[in-house]
Structure 1
Amino acid sequence: MKSSILASILFFLAGGLICQAQNGFWVKWSSDHPQRTVDWKAFSSKTEGDKYIDSIQNSFLNEGYLGVFANDEELAEDSLSLSFVLGEKYFWKSIAHGNVPQEFTNSIIPLTQEYNSATTWMKSIIKEAENNGFPFAQIKLDSIQRNGNELSAVFNYDSGPLIFWDSVKVSGDTKTQEKYVQHITGIQPGLPFSQKQLDEAHKELSRSPYFVQTQDPLVDFKIKKAQPTFTLRDRNTNVLDGIIGLLPNANEPGKMLITGQLDLELYHLGGKGRDVAVHWQRLNIATQSLDISAKEAFLFNSPLDVSIGFNLLKQDSTFLNRYLNLDFGYRLSKNSYLRFFTRRQSSAVLNTEAYKDVTDLPDVADYQWNQYGMGLTLNRLDDPNFPRRGFLFIGEVALGNKKILENTGFPPEVYVNVELNSPQYLGEAEIEKHIYIKSTWGMWFRGSAGFTQNKNLFLNDLFRLGGLKSIRGFNENYFYARSYGYINMEQRLFFGKNSFLMVFADFGILENPYFAASIDKPFSFGAGINLDSGSGIFRFIYGVGKSNLQPLQFSFSRIHFGYLARF
């Protein structure tokens, strides 16, 4: 019985393949050149087969076989066999540039004797003309002469009218201002038209995190004017993100401590690339952080962006750090962004009672540090919000003078022989890589590193790491580090455009001069889900980690979940 069923299945499969073959069309061709022959090739229809034959004949013409023709046709209902007679191959003996502008000819590949060289050269001239204000330029061969299989001719060029850019026009469901698109694309009224600039503008706008293009750009040509129209639709880029964390309560064993985080990010306000962000975290009962920033793009119609920011970190009752920064950014290219910044960092010890009897400067102190630095961003991600391919690099370096402030709660002698003013510098870098394997499988990697250096480094000077956005499986800002490096790795199983299951592993190496074992090598692993609901992203991540201060036990595991709403 089973054999009969299997035979029936094979019979129907074979019959389907035979029917499919009978409904197709087969083509075979040969030529009088012994190495230019193709055996039977299948096509879905006779029309597709005819197109294939035409393309073969045109390729011979482009190579210089101007007398090529087909004969010995054998035509059947589902097949075609023919032979090409190539004939003599023609070459160019000479081609004069004629009236083609010399500035165009200097930047393209020189002509050769090959017949198709003239066609390639003419296309290059037209492209040069289109990129220099002449979109209606034409060129052709004139005064063609033949001597055997050698040809000679002269180029005849017609530039057409010189066209200049008109103002940029924006349409579609968007609040984006035309002035902003003009700055992003670099299309300035009064400059010569450039097809290359229009193509690059289309690519640049496609990478914007603020909007998407719903159709290709349109150009309306008027009298010596070209007005580009970009049709846009705003993305849901604004973010409202709330996360709840469940952590073991160190003060009350057996109970859990609920922490919180709020991220509010408003983008492209007024359609001008203006951004505002507020981030707040409660890491434990007494520890909180606040981060506020604002950015204005193309300040006073200049190529510069300016942003200001304020950050506050209260570490329980130990110290309070404050940061105030001013950034100026400049777009070097569509993929690179350079910024210069100044930052004022200050720290104050909150509880001095514990240090009233110390004889040396403790591991925390009051100070001010004025920094000056620069940063570079290289962005080659295929999507600004949900990338599947590409990489992102972000790096910065800063230096400045650090001044230790004398705290009246400390004994005065702790400042004796301490250099109160000294240079301090830092550097940070991060690289992110997305790998697309297939529609349901991808990988994500991120590597981060940083260092800070000074004669008198304090605990409230050090980097803070750990948690959902750095080394998972640990509390937020769990680690202090003078220098650090860590790697995040994820395997992602996609079941929607922006929804996936994932497993992760994080590995790091940290240096803390105030701990007995100054080198820590934490690692963690876990799993989670990222679920796109259409109006937002739901995230749930479970991780467990091990370090010098935390054993590898499931009782120390961390759970983070939240909903990121985009509007």
Structure 2
Amino acid sequence: MQRMIILLVFVYAGCVQAQVKSQLFVDSEPYEYYTFQDSLALSAHIRSLQIKWLNDGYYFTGRDSITTTLDTINIYLHKGDKLDVQIDGLSGKRVISKLSKALSEYVNNGYPFASMKIDSVRVNHKTLTGKLVIQPGPEVTYDSAQFLSPVKTNHKYVYQLLDIVPDDEFSEKGYKKINEKIKRSSFLELQNPTDLSFKNKKAKIFLDIKEQASNTFQGVVGLQQVPSGETSVVGNIDLDIQNLFRSGKQFQFAWERFSEQSQQLNIFYKHPFLFDSKISPTFYFDLLKQDTTFITRNTGLGIQAYLSPKIGISLVYERAVGTLLSTDIENVSRSGLADFNRTLYKVELFEGNKSYFRNYASSIAWNISISGGRKTIDRNLSLPDTYYDSIQLSTDYFRMEVGLDYQLLVLKRQSFFHSLSAGSLINEELLRNELFRIGGLNSLRGFNEKSIFAQSYMLSRAEFRSYFENESYAYLFYDQLIFAANEKKDAPFGIGLGFALATSSGQFSFALAVGDSETQPISFSAMKAHFGYISKF
């Protein structure tokens, strides 16, 4: 019995060029006419077509011949008779499943022109028996990419970001996911679909990439009332460099003054693809000073990698130290404060890029993190020993946080933006200087910055935006918080309006907000005004 070809993947070398026009004939009859982006797309289409026939029981499907007419490739296929099948001890769709799985292993690991056939074929009473034989074809690796527009970002970083590193084995699945992988970056954007060509066992990718200004410098100024009834100026400075030295390195510096004697400092650094690996080390340092009461320092070392084109994972070792600045026993006892050391191990999954939410576009981003470790309360020699008699000095500590941001386009130039976040701390000796801090422009608008202490919380921030340019819009917002801290529970909310205006070098923002809670009823005399400017470079 002659060898029967089950699946066509290889298309001869003359057709490996962009924009492949093809005419398919089945059993000598015209079947369909298509123009494909490249030969790989043509091969994939024929493969999917024949797998469909195989699923329907036409196990004699194969290729008869290939001819060319001017700029068109004519491919002649046949379906054959419908039969039952017994191949390598498998029958029916189990054969197709094995075939598809085996072929995928080849085309995604350096053999895009792999093909299969049935050897030792026998037909007996409409039952086909035989043995699957794989013909891998030539091994193909990535060549350097062809950039259709000038790209100043280090090309090595682009290759690693898109998983198209020169001399690595070609992957059809990886190539098809380039459009998704580039969204990992906030400063690179595909202008047109990617293209592909094969030559001398090398795959060359054609990329039309546009670099965007993504580095930002942000300044925000706010007005809030202090307990004395006077008005205090608060604000922050936020520097976010997404493409340091045009190498994909990320550096963030943020300083915030959220009350008269309180401030916070945050530093973050990410080094992409260490030693040409898929792993990106991270480092962060946070310092929080609460007036003259306490100071907390938090240091983290971690690594990031991608589990799929969109979903990343982060593993972090975190060390926190809390120190009392005031040892007034009455204040310390009433507030539930103490010196502490805490070691945590964190796992985080994430997807999406929040920088897209300033644009008129549908976007989504989410993250979920779980941390666990051990906390030790340190004795302060300035406090009496009796203060620690009822305190467990060493306890287990757990922290969980989730977040979801999305924007939906609902009308011609209007959108609905919604940000959901939640967190919970689990510890038998939870201290006030460990709690979540909520309030202000970036969390619950209408309230003083970081004025709410919470052990567990859920925060919803909803905005209805009306765009008049891509990054310019007016909006109405409603923020709702539900939180608990020790025995206290409350559900404060904030409402207001604002606008964001794009300029030649950045974005100016303004918001008016008023809040309501058990301790702060709505009062327009307590309205919060927030001014901000984001400079992009």
Give the TM-score, by structure 2 length. 0.74
Match of 1:8 in 2: none
2:528 is the counterpart of 1:558: yes
Amino acid at match of 2:417: W
Separation in 2, partners of 1:313, 1:377: 25
Separation in 2, partners of 1:65, 1:461: 75
Aligned counterpart in structure 2 of residue 182 of structure 1, from 159, 163, 175: 159
SS of the residue corresponding to residue 297 of structure 1 reads coil
**Could you list the per-position Cα deviations for residues 53-82 of structure 1 after superposition, in whole angstroms to 9, with x for gaps in the alignment?**
xxxxx99x9999979xxxxxxxxxxxxxxx
Aligned 8 A contact 1:381 1:389 in 2: no
Alignment of 1:38-437 (within 5 A): 96-97=60-61, 163-170=140-147, 172-205=149-182, 208-219=185-196, 221-251=198-228, 253=229, 255-352=230-327, 354-355=328-329, 363-379=336-352, 383=356, 386=359, 388-437=361-410
SS of the residue corresponding to residue 438 of structure 1 reads coil
Aligned counterpart in structure 2 of residue 510 of structure 1, from 479, 483, 486: 483
Q: How far did 1:399 drift?
A: 1.2
Q: CA distance change for structure 1 residues 159 and 472 in 2, over 3 Å: closer, same or farther? A: same
Separation in 1, partners of 2:225, 2:355: 40
Amino acid at match of 1:533: T
Amino acid at match of 1:355: I
Amino acid at match of 1:180: Y
Separation in 2, partners of 1:208, 1:385: 15
Aligned counterpart in structure 1 of residue 517 of structure 2, from 504, 525, 547: 547
Gaps of 5+ in 2: 1-22, 32-55, 65-78, 83-95, 117-133
SS of the residue corresponding to residue 280 of structure 1 reads strand
Q: How far did 1:356 drift?
A: 6.9
**Could you list the per-position Cα deviations for residues 442-488 of structure 1 after superposition, in whole angstroms to 9, with x for gaps in the alignment?**
10112111111211111111110011111111011010001111211
SS of the residue corresponding to residue 414 of structure 1 reads helix
Aligned counterpart in structure 2 of residue 535 of structure 1, from 486, 501, 505: 505
Aligned 8 A contact 1:242 1:261 in 2: yes
Amino acid at match of 1:428: E
Once the two structures are aligned, what percentage of the paired residues are identical? Answer: 29
SS of the residue corresponding to residue 495 of structure 1 reads strand
Separation in 1, partners of 2:444, 2:532: 18
Q: How far did 1:245 drift?
A: 0.6
Aligned 8 A contact 1:335 1:380 in 2: no
Q: How far did 1:203 drift?
A: 3.6
**Could you list the per-position Cα deviations for residues 97-136 of structure 1 after superposition, in whole angstroms to 9, with x for gaps in the alignment?**
4589xxxxxxxxx9886xxxxxxx9xx9xx9797676778
Q: CA distance change for structure 1 residues 456 and 267 in 2, over 3 Å: closer, same or farther? A: same
Q: How far did 1:221 drift?
A: 4.0
Separation in 1, partners of 2:57, 2:494: 71
SS of the residue corresponding to residue 247 of structure 2 reads coil
Separation in 1, partners of 2:306, 2:110: 25
216-225 or 522-531: which moved more? 216-225
Separation in 2, partners of 1:158, 1:246: 72
Separation in 1, partners of 2:416, 2:242: 28
**Could you list the per-position Cα deviations for residues 227-274 of structure 1 after superposition, in whole angstroms to 9, with x for gaps in the alignment?**
2243433211111100111122433x3x43211210011112233321
Amino acid at match of 2:278: P
Pair member with larger Rg: 1
Q: How far did 1:171 drift?
A: 5.9
Separation in 1, partners of 2:348, 2:30: 59
Q: CA distance change for structure 1 residues 136 and 406 in 2, over 3 Å: closer, same or farther? A: closer
Q: How far did 1:290 drift?
A: 0.5
Gaps of 5+ in 1: 1-57, 68-91, 101-109, 114-120, 140-156
**Could you list the per-position Cα deviations for residues 263-298 of structure 1 after superposition, in whole angstroms to 9, with x for gaps in the alignment?**
011112233321111000111220111001111111
Give the TM-score, by structure 1 length. 0.70
Q: How far did 1:535 drift?
A: 1.8
Q: CA distance change for structure 1 residues 319 and 159 in 2, over 3 Å: closer, same or farther? A: closer
Aligned 8 A contact 2:494 2:516 in 1: yes
Separation in 2, partners of 1:374, 1:207: 19
RMSD of Structure 2 on Structure 1 (CA): 3.5
2:457 is the counterpart of 1:484: yes
**Could you list the per-position Cα deviations for residues 200-236 of structure 1 after superposition, in whole angstroms to 9, with x for gaps in the alignment?**
2244225531222344435454322222243433211
Q: How far did 1:322 drift?
A: 0.8
**Could you list the per-position Cα deviations for residues 517-553 of structure 1 after superposition, in whole angstroms to 9, with x for gaps in the alignment?**
7111101110110111232111111110011221110
Q: CA distance change for structure 1 residues 348 and 219 in 2, over 3 Å: closer, same or farther? A: same
Q: CA distance change for structure 1 residues 559 and 97 in 2, over 3 Å: closer, same or farther? A: same
SS of the residue corresponding to residue 294 of structure 1 reads strand
Separation in 2, partners of 1:133, 1:438: 46
Aligned 8 A contact 2:186 2:355 in 1: no
Q: CA distance change for structure 1 residues 375 and 134 in 2, over 3 Å: closer, same or farther? A: closer
Q: CA distance change for structure 1 residues 65 and 239 in 2, over 3 Å: closer, same or farther? A: same
Aligned 8 A contact 1:382 1:388 in 2: no
Separation in 2, partners of 1:382, 1:291: 19
Amino acid at match of 1:333: S
**Could you list the per-position Cα deviations for residues 383-428 of structure 1 after superposition, in whole angstroms to 9, with x for gaps in the alignment?**
4763632422111111111111111221121112422111111111
**Could you list the per-position Cα deviations for residues 137-171 of structure 1 after superposition, in whole angstroms to 9, with x for gaps in the alignment?**
999xxxxxxxxxxxxxxxxx999865432234546
Match of 1:71 in 2: none
**Could you list the per-position Cα deviations for residues 488-531 of structure 1 after superposition, in whole angstroms to 9, with x for gaps in the alignment?**
11111111112111101111111122xxx711110111011011
Amino acid at match of 1:172: S
